[in-house]
């Protein structure tokens, strides 16, 4: 995220703290997809992920005045999402996990052969990701899908930076082994 947008997010939070509904709509428009995708990867249920969006942004509305700016707004949002998702999972211990909800969106510019190859690769990648431990999967998700720094991941997950680095190292190693065993080469064909 650019510094300009981060500053804008901080301004939006300050305006939300003063009850500015338009600022809330702008912040929601900017971040709700990221919140949904991150929540979906954690809870693996589309309906629960939709509910998380509401809960997260309701918390933002209520807690904006307490935001201290020690992290970026997007990091704060993902930390709230993680907390809400883990709470939802605790409430639904026996829930079935659904990988299909996280299916990749095809690139319309690809020809059908490339689209099928990407779909097959995407399915293999999702299957391999689901074979990782929840701790490793969460780190990979935050670093690669949400482009968070090691420092931001440590803050979101609540663990030391060195632990994030160690988990990321082992997650990448395990993922590479799983992908190789599944016959997936690095990168798209």
Whose structure tokens read 């500053």?
A: 7
Mean pLDDT value of segment 88-96 = 65
In DSSP notation, 151-173 reads HHHHHHHTS-HHHHHHHHHHHHH
Residue 31 pLDDT greater than 90, yes or no:
yes
Domains of the chain listed by start with CATH number = 1-98 (1.10.1740.10), 109-189 (1.10.10.10)
In this predicted structure, the answer to whether residue 130 has a pLDDT above a threshold of 50 is yes
- Give the pLDDT confidence of 141-159 residue by residue, as tens digits: 888 888 888 999 999 899 9
Show Cβ contacts of residue 15 under 8 Å, excluding neighbours closer than 6 positions.
22, 23
Q: Does position 117 have pLDDT exceeding 80, yes or no?
A: no
Give the pLDDT band (50/70/90) at residue 99.
very low
Higher local confidence (pLDDT), 87 or 98? 87
Model pLDDT, residue 100: 44
Say whether pTM exceeds 0.85.
no
Nearest to 142 by CA among 119, 162, 174, 165: 165
> Please, what is the average pLDDT of the chain?
80
pLDDT of 14 over the 90 cut: yes
pLDDT of residue 36: 94
């Amino acid at each position: 995220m650019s510094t300009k947008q981060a500053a804008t997010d901080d301004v939006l939070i300050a305006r939300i703290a003063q009850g500015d509904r338009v600022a809330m709509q702008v912040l929601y428009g900017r971040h709700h997809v990221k919140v949904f995708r991150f929540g979906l990867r954690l809870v693996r249920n589309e309906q629960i992920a939709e509910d998380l969006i509401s809960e997260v942004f309701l918390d933002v509305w209520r807690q904006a005045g307490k935001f201290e700016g020690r992290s970026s707004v997007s990091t704060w949002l993902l930390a709230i999402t993680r907390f809400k998702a883990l709470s939802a999972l605790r409430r639904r211990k026996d829930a079935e996990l659904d990988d299909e909800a996280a299916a990749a969106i095809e690139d319309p510019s690809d020809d059908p052969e490339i689209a099928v190859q990407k779909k097959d690769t995407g399915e293999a990648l999702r299957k391999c990701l689901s074979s990782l431990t929840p701790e490793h999967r969460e780190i990979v998700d935050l670093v690669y899908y949400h482009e968070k720094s090691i420092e931001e991941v440590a803050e979101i997950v609540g663990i030391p930076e060195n632990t994030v680095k160690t988990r990321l190292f082992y997650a990448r190693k395990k993922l590479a082994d799983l992908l190789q065993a599944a016959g997936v080469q690095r990168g798209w064909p």
